[in-house]
Chain A
């Protein structure tokens, strides 16, 4: 076995199929999109080369800037709300509570359900006329709070963040849980002998030792926020009046509703670069510390 893995030709033969598929469905389209983003093109026929004008428009158009701002807000919400909740759940579960397996499964269920199903579910919860949320508020005497959650500019953004944050809590929890479980029991025993409390053990031992997995979670969470599309698209379609628009929904509307393939491709290139830059930044941040 070892001789096979040290053989360079064998390695290249094994790697080649995946590399080809990866190039074909990821790398090549990215380069093609980058080229399209320099065109003024309606999707059929010939496009006119216009240089970086699509990018200039993107960074001067209030609608696009608003969408970028929303995705940054969403990334911040993921990092500062979603990940801490996942971390606490993971640490609690990893500290051998009763029914560990049961809770682990329950928290993970939303990850397994299709996002479109989740979006439909939440749009029924938020429904202004018969939604669960408004009915509940009425029943507990808070009729004044009853409102059209997804139909108002001031509440729609938060209302569309919550389902995604909720959905992926289980995902990050499972990653962190695995990280916490892989910490050697000897260390915990030593801490116990020294009289460290559970909270202290978590802060001083478990979390620092989970750094690699925390980095992975952070990267996934931020990139996931930048790429979010399906949930927002089904819940609000970017509305009302662009209040919940994110770069990916704007890209979809530009390409499929207004036939501006060039501008839409520029947006997609922006999303790719945004994800790339933040991945590098997060990695260097974790290295230097």
Chain B
């Protein structure tokens, strides 16, 4: 018996060893194949692996179809989850070992250093007028940096106010369209013992969405763009007033008392369980709200963030609309094929993703069936259509270090440890954006 056990152990070990050997040698096999039989292998890295993320279902289907249609250009996909993906792609890019095509995490300040250091392929010459004509309005401007194109849009997201209509009815509050109505709603909800709004400030960016929207409503998008270019303009009366309003809301008890220990995920969980009446988020939360497991399914409305009586911003000025797409590595051996795949992927994922509720379209959607979309998705698409000015997430526009400082400043402002004046003085110390706006 013992001898048998020993022998089978040896076999298992041997199998394991050969297995790992095979694993080691497979990349080189791939390369020789590419040279020999003319088959090109492209590597794709993305971060769409979540259960509720429609892209994680669509991506394998799109790649399978591509591989079937293009026997000579085979795509191999590796998906990694969000935060880990960030670290992984940064490390690979810095080591010049990036895959041929990869997801660029919202572009902006995330990709800027790699574009500057030529780790990303300039695809301007590959983007034909034909492709440009298929893009939705405003998208081409968004992907152009210094006259060059590095990425194609997939879909886009805009942030709006999500309200739980059931809780609003219970408290007898009106869905706010102005700042005064927002304050009224807060006090009515509080009286009824309902948490007016939820912020997952442990992750810091959910609070940033509130301040950034308030600032855009108070000062108007043009002033915000000016300030991105010349940070000293952050210290002007309009931005001080915006910071004061943010603090006023916090002091009025608009936000959950546990915001500093609540993560983004916990915030979504709490909102979907009906534990808060309002949330400022982008349309990527729609899927979760409309999910079968959600207690607030069908009870949530998405509306434009309230306008301010004394503000310069309009409800047609929208927070979001950024490009969130894939990039081609400059170290790829097959730039032409990689861009060809990038175009196919961006268009397919953009349109199919829109239909599946993953995001708002950045490609022309005329004649596309939208009947499968949830009410929230359709409402968000309507808000997007009204938009005539877009400013994407500020932490993507600001250089990385300033983005971090911006989020920390807002957290301090929310905690009441900092006056609006001091907040704006500190904001004026930020670095100007490196992007074209």
Query: Taking chain B's interface residues, is the majority helix, strand, or loop, or is none over half, making it mixed?
Result: helix
Q: List residues 235-281 of chain B with CB under 8 A from any CB of chain A.
A: 257-262, 270, 275
> Which residues from B are CB-within-8-Å of A153?
415
Who on chain B is nearest to A256 by CB? B87
**Chain B: minimal CB distance from A254 (Å):** 9
Answer yes or no: A74 CB below 8 A from chain B CBs: no
In the complex, whether A259 has a CB less than 8 A from a CB of chain B is yes
Q: Are A257 and B404 in contact (CB under 8 A)?
A: yes
> Which A residues are in CB contact (< 8 Å) with B117?
44-45
Number of A-B contacts (CB under 8 A): 76
- Choose among A123, A257, A260 the residue with the greatest number of B CB atoms under 10 Å from its CB: A257
19 further contact pairs, Cβ within 8 A, besides A44-B114, A240-B415: A42-B113, A44-B117, A44-B119, A45-B117, A148-B257, A149-B261, A150-B260, A151-B202, A151-B258, A236-B261, A239-B202, A240-B261, A241-B411, A241-B412, A256-B86, A256-B87, A258-B400, A259-B401, A260-B401
Instruction: Tell me whether B258 and A240 are in contact (CB under 8 A).
Output: no
B129 within 8 A of A: no
What are 9 residue pairs bridging A and B, where the CB atoms are less than 8 Å apart in the complex?
A43-B90, A44-B94, A44-B117, A128-B257, A148-B258, A151-B262, A241-B417, A257-B404, A259-B400
Please state if A44 and B93 are interface contacts (CB–CB under 8 Å): yes
Asked if A247 is at the interface of the complex by the 8 Å CB criterion, the answer is no
Complex CA gap A152/B202 in Å reads 11
- Bound Cα distance A127, B18 (Å): 49
Chain A residues whose CB sits within 8 angstroms of the CB of B270 once the complex forms: 129
**Chain B residues proximal to chain A, CB less than 8 Å:** 86-87, 90, 93-94, 113-114, 116-117, 119, 201-204, 257-262, 270, 275, 400-401, 404, 408, 411-412, 415, 417
Specify which chain B residues have a CB less than 8 angstroms from the CB of A44 in the assembled complex. Answer: 93-94, 113-114, 116-117, 119
Which residues of chain A come closer than 8 Å to B202, judged between CB atoms?
151, 236-237, 239-240
Q: How large is the interface on A (under 10, 10 to 19, 20 to 34, 35 or more residues)?
A: 20 to 34
Complex formed: what's the CA distance from A43 to B94 in Å?
6
Shortest Cβ distance from A261 into chain B, in angstroms? 9
Nearest CB to that of A42 among chain B residues?
B113
Asked if A105 lies at the interface with its beta carbon under 8 angstroms from chain B, I say: no
Which of B203, B259, B404, B417 is within 8 Å of A253, CB to CB? B404
**Nearest neighbor of A263 in chain B, beta-carbon distance:** B401
Distance of A123 from chain B, by nearest CB (Å): 8
Query: How distant is the Cα of A100 from the Cα of B204 in the complex, in angstroms?
Result: 47
Given contacts A256-B86, A256-B90, A259-B401, contact A150 B261 (CB under 8 A): yes
A201-243 toward B: CB 8 Å interface, digit per residue (1/0)? 0000000000000000000000000000000000011011110
